[in-house]
Structures are given as C-alpha cells and as structure tokens.
Amino acid sequence: MRHFRSIGEAGPEAVRRLLDLADHMAEVNRRPNPKVPALRGRTVCNVFFEDSTRTRLSFETAAKRLSADTMNFAVSSSSVNKGESLRDTIETIAAMGVDAFVIRHKSSGAPWQIGQWTNAAVVNAGDGWHAHPTQALLDCFTIRNAFGRPDGFDGLKIAIIGDIKHSRVARSDIEAFAMLGADVTLVAPKTLLPPVTDGMPVTITTDLDAVIGEVDVVYLLRMQMERMTEALVPNLYEYTTRFGLTPERVTKLAEHTLIMHPGPMNRGVEVAVDPSELPGSVITQQVTNGIAVRMAVLFDLLGSGANLEDES
C-alpha cells in the first residue's frame, strides 16, 4: 500500500489487514510504556490546512509511539497565506526529508493532487467532503471489538444519521461498513444527502423512529451550525425533532445497540441527552482506538505488509 487516502482506494484486503494490525497496536497501547521502535528514523509530517487539534494529536501520538520523528505544519502560520501554491508548500517540506505526509485539507481531492508532487506516502486525515479513512477504520475497529466480529459485519445493521452530504466521515464509513458486509441505512432529509444516491450501497429513509429500534449501531453525525444559512434545514429545533437522539428515542434503542459519534458533538442538536449516560455509547473508545488504528496505518505504509516466513 503506497498511500492511505480513501477506503475505496485501499481496498478490502488492506482494510482487513489494517484492522488486524490495529489489534497489535492496541496491545502496545495497553502497556505501561506504550512505545515500539518500529518506525525509528522515519519522519512523519502533519500538514493540516484545516484546524483540528484532536485528529492532529492522535496522528502525532501514533507516530511517536512507533518511535518516528514528527513535524507539524499548521497553515495559519505558514506561507500558504502569503500566496505560496500548494505544490510549492509540499515540495519544500518534502525536500526536508519526509517519509509520510498526513494531510487534512478543506478541498476534496487534495491528497490526490499532492500525490503527484511527492514520493512520500500520503495519509488522508480528511479532505473536504470526500473522505476520512482513518476515522472509518477506527469506527470499524470499535464495532469489531464491541461485538467480537473479527470476521466481518455480515448481518449487522448500521444507521448513519445527519448531514451525509457534507460529511467525509459518512462517505468513508459507508464505504467501509458496506465493504465489511454490513447493512447501512442513511437517515437524513433530501437536502442533507448527496445529489445522486442510487449506486450507493445504502437504504435511505427520513423516518428515524422506524429504524432506531432495529439497528445494531446508531452513528450520529455532527449537524453544523453554519448550515443554517444555506436553507438546508429550516431550523435546528426541527432537525433535532426529526433526526436527533432525543430521550424518547433512547428508550426505543435495543439493549445492545452502540451509539457512535465522530466528535465534536453539538449537544442539544444531534444528541439531546448526555452521551455518558447512554450505556451503548462507545464514543470514548472511538477516540482511544483512533491512535491504534493510525499506528497501524503508519506502520503498514512505512514498515511493511506482506506475509513471509521469518528466520531467526
């Protein structure tokens, strides 16, 4: 695997391999000294054109636990604001000797454009509306562990609720969940869905109450306040009434159903109860698993991957 930019590009074999690798990394993280020398001497550069402290810290921690050196490039303090083109920025950093770029950018497709200008591995930490593959991996890892399903998600029912249209998390999750065999249902009004949805491996509904008792996983997406100006929903109150996790809906959940959210949460909007009071919530596990999964990705890209008998 040369890059990790989207679930579709990685493919089912790589996804399974990364989830298995994440088991090893999770074990490393449980030790008193959670560090291995695997990527010693390698340099990982975080290039975040869009602010995200939590994702950046997660990647940085992952790199450091593998003993890699890290560099951070945050756009507000950079020359991009002075008109340096994206290409110049990447080539300048690459010239300093970087083995992997971790990129977050507000423009869909930036990791592919960047791939033309460097030989380093490119990890997509989120591009525009398009993809957030490490989020999808950690979501799959969380579900896999919660239900004890290392073989795949056949028969699992997952509902993704909210602003699918603008969500790179949703797009990557849909790809990954479907790849592993789950039945995915999207719950959203038409204004919050991509313009064309036929061909997507999903069922679509606007009736959250009809599905909420039937699913194994409820995945809540963030409803962004900024969307109000675009006439996508009349107001947030109506959004919460139709699509939010309200106290009434909580009572309808099956006992084993997981509650998931990519964070940060808009309390009172997509989730109208205190999530820490939901027994099915695995939101904190998602964050913990993020490090293990990102360690797996970095190790697979910069360490190795294929099967071979080793000799002592």
> In this structure, which amino acid lies at residue 269?
V
Give, in degrees to the nearest 5, the angle at Cα 96 between 46 and 114. 55
Report the C-alpha dihedral over residues 171, 175, 180, 182, rounded to 10 degrees. 60
310 binds another protein per the rule CB under 8 A:
yes
131 - beta bridge partners?
Answer: 127
Query: Under the criterion CB under 8 A, does residue 160 sit at the interface with another protein?
Result: no
Q: Binding to another protein (CB under 8 A): which residues in 74-93?
A: 85-88
When asked if residue 52 is in the footprint of another protein (CB under 8 A), the reply is no
Interface with another protein, residue 189, by CB under 8 A: no
Which of 16, 24, 242, 252 touches another protein by CB under 8 A?
24
Cα–Cα dist 245/208, whole Å:
9
108 vs 206 by CB, closer to another protein: 108
- Torsional class of 277: left (φ above 0), alpha (ψ -120 to 50), beta (otherwise): alpha
| Closer to another protein by Cβ: residue 84 or 248 | 84
- Residue 110 or residue 184: which is nearer to another protein going by CB? 110
Size of interface with another protein, in residues (CB under 8 A): 53
Name the residue nearer to another protein (CB basis): 29 or 286. 29
Map residue 205 onto helix, strand or coil. strand
Residue entry with tokens 């756009």: 75
Own/partner pairs, 245-248, CB within 8 angstroms, 24+ separation: 245/161, 245/218, 245/220, 245/270, 245/271, 245/272, 245/273, 246/272, 246/273, 247/272, 247/273
Choice from 12, 128, 181, 263 touching another protein (CB under 8 A): 128
107 binds another protein (CB under 8 A): yes
By the rule CB under 8 A, 211 interacts with another protein: no
Q: Tell me how long the chain is.
A: 312
The minimum distance between CB 306 and another protein, in angstroms, equals 4
Radius of gyration of the chain (CA): 20
Listed ranges 136-144, 147-155, 244-252, 298-306: which one lies at the site for another protein (CB under 8 A): 298-306
Compute the least distance from the CB of residue 194 to another protein, in Å: 3
Of 246 and 288, nearer to another protein (C-beta) is: 288
| Position 178 contacts another protein (CB under 8 A) | no
Strand partners, 218: 159, 259
Question: DSSP labels for 254-268?
Answer: -TT-EEE--S---BT
Q: Which of 13, 31, 76, 255 binds another protein (CB under 8 A)?
A: 31
Q: Interface with another protein by CB under 8 A: which residues?
A: 20-21, 23-24, 27-28, 31-33, 35-39, 42, 66, 85-88, 105-110, 112-113, 127-131, 168, 171, 194-200, 299, 302-308, 310-312
